[in-house]
Amino acid sequence: MKPDKPAGHGEMRRHNLLLVLSNIGGHWPISKPELAEMTGLSWGAVASTTEELLKRGLVQAAKTPLEGLGRNPALFRLRKDARYSLGIDLGFSDVRGVLIDLEGSTVDSLVENSPLGSASPEETIKHCCAMARKIVRKSKLPNGKLLGIGIGIPGSADHEKGICLGLPNLPRWTNVPVAKLVASQLPLPVMLDRRGNCVAYAERHYGAALRLDHAICVSMGEELTAGFILNGVVYRGLGNSAGEIGQMAMTSEPHVARLVERVSIEWLTSAWKQITGQATATLDEIHELAMAGNAKAEELFEELGSILGVALGNLVSLLSPQRIVLGGRLANSRPLFEKAMRESLAKVVGRAAQFDVQTSQLGEMDVAKGAAALLMDRAFSTGEGLLTNVRAVTE
């Protein structure tokens, strides 16, 4: 959440406000001397800037653990109720919505069945807007404090224009102006992105990649995708398509086999039905059987982990991250594929690589939270909604 550099002298004050605010948000509680060191601003500039942020109601004094034991420096933190952001994860099975405050804490959330596969894009957008209104009413959010709405989709997106370029097996979703449709019903700023990038935003600001400059955030839920954090920012690539790791080719013989064909919930359940002859199977059922010592279920998770390790090793060799974060429902089964993943990962990656692998702690709201973070990130970078007025939410 680094602010844009000032274009001229007239922008310097705005730049300083955002620079100090971003550092308070990323390192609270923090003192004026620490802010001066981190920002490179003079003591006087930090003092006047923090004073203005206090008057604007964006920051507040933080309690010091040594309060009452002598003179202590004034500490600052964000005023969490100063602004809010709403994120929606538009999935194939569920639609998840979450409202977060300025510090990224969850204020309220909602999960509903998704109309994505059956309804038209217009009907689906209407459903999302109704969900947003429900969350706002339920949380009793004051008017003039909602930065906007972020939406994560399981397909390709034109992030700058807010257009869904396409969703798998749903031709009606080709070139759908999602942001425009939402804004026509809710007159608020709207941002759109692919799910993998949303996960990266969530982990970068609120999760296991916090304060890291280089990380790979993998989402193993309804789809297999990822978001790349490079040099402290989410890397999008040409056409905002970087991170579609499910399309990585793992072999070309006898045909091109994609990673998603061997590392996904769909592959796991299909393989189990083929092995056992069962008509139906769920990830939870196979997980429980493997945990209870069922050899066939254990072998499936081991096979999945072995292939996943090779793919992660290739990504490490290419991008040299500090950390890999595994999220999504399939990541909850990590103890079952951990050993196989580690073994194949070690075979691919050289000893010089220094990174660790962590499981996301954000749960199944990771995409929604990352979608909400899109607005937060823009606000801290440009001041939109922080240093400018915020529209009221209309019923």
Q: Is 88 helix (H, G, I), strand (E, B) or coil?
A: strand
Report which residue type is found at 68.
G
- Whether the predicted pLDDT of 218 surpasses 90: yes
Alpha carbon distance 130, 133 (integer Å):
5
- Whether the predicted pLDDT of 69 surpasses 60: no
| Mean pLDDT score, 83-111 | 97
Q: Indicate if the alpha-carbon torsion angle 166, 171, 173, 176 is positive or negative.
A: positive
DSSP 8-state symbol, 270 = H
Q: Which of 79-83, 195-199, 237-241, 358-362 has the least mean pLDDT?
A: 237-241
Domains of the chain: 9-78 (1.10.10.10), 84-200+366-382 (3.30.420.40), 212-361 (3.30.420.40)
Report which residue type is found at 291.
M
Burial class (CB in 10 A: 0-12, 13-18, 19+), 319: middle
300, 272 in Cβ contact below 8 A? yes
Round the average pLDDT of the chain to a whole number and report it. 92
- The more confident residue out of 65 and 144 is 144
263, 224 in Cβ contact below 8 A? yes
Q: What confidence category does residue 66 fall into, taking pLDDT thresholds of 50, 70 and 90?
A: low
Q: What pTM, to 2 d.p., does this model score?
A: 0.93
Tens-place pLDDT, residues 302-335:
999 999 999 999 999 999 999 999 999 999 999 9
Tens-place pLDDT, residues 219-238:
998 889 999 999 999 999 99
CA nearest neighbour of 161 among 188, 179, 147, 182: 179
Question: Which of 289-304 are b and which e, b meaning 16 or more Cβ less than 10 Å from the residue's Cβ?
Answer: bbeeeeeebbebbbbb
